[in-house]
Amino acid sequence: MFASSSSVARPRAPAPVGDGPGVEALDIRVGAVLEVATHPDADAQFVEKNDLGEAEPRTVVSGLVAYMPAEAIAGKRVLVVCNLQARNMKGVKSEGLVLCASSGGDE
């Protein structure tokens, strides 16, 4: 039998440009990675301590294990989105989001 037309998912129209907060709402800061360790309860995640010019280093849990070794991250400069609500990531409080990019090569 065929599904009734009322149960078929229809694609949504894209949201008009300008709805909601724009990129200017992001609090993106440049910092330095002070420490990197594999998450104690999640082998696919790193726990990073980042110096963002605040009184205390900011802890960020990232999923970069599959893309680069800890040694490649330690001591590097990073961009961190800071105005996200802190989240408990398998027992570790993550206080931001590290932004990453690649050149499209093997790096």
Name the token pair of 90. Answer: 């398998």
Contacts of 63 (CB under 8 A, 6+ apart): 44, 45, 46
* 88 confidence band (pLDDT: 50, 70, 90): very high
Name the token pair of 14. Answer: 């894209």
Residue 36 bridge partners (DSSP): 48
Whether the per-residue pLDDT at 4 is higher than 60: the answer is: no
| Locus of tokens 């960020």 | 60
Classify 70 as helix, strand or coil.
helix
Longest dimension (CA), the chain: 64
| CA–CA gap between residue 57 and residue 77 (Å, rounded) | 14
pLDDT tens string 13-24: 766 666 667 778
| CA–CA gap between residue 57 and residue 61 (Å, rounded) | 13
As a whole number, mean pLDDT of residues 5-11 equals 65
Averaged confidence pLDDT in the chain:
85
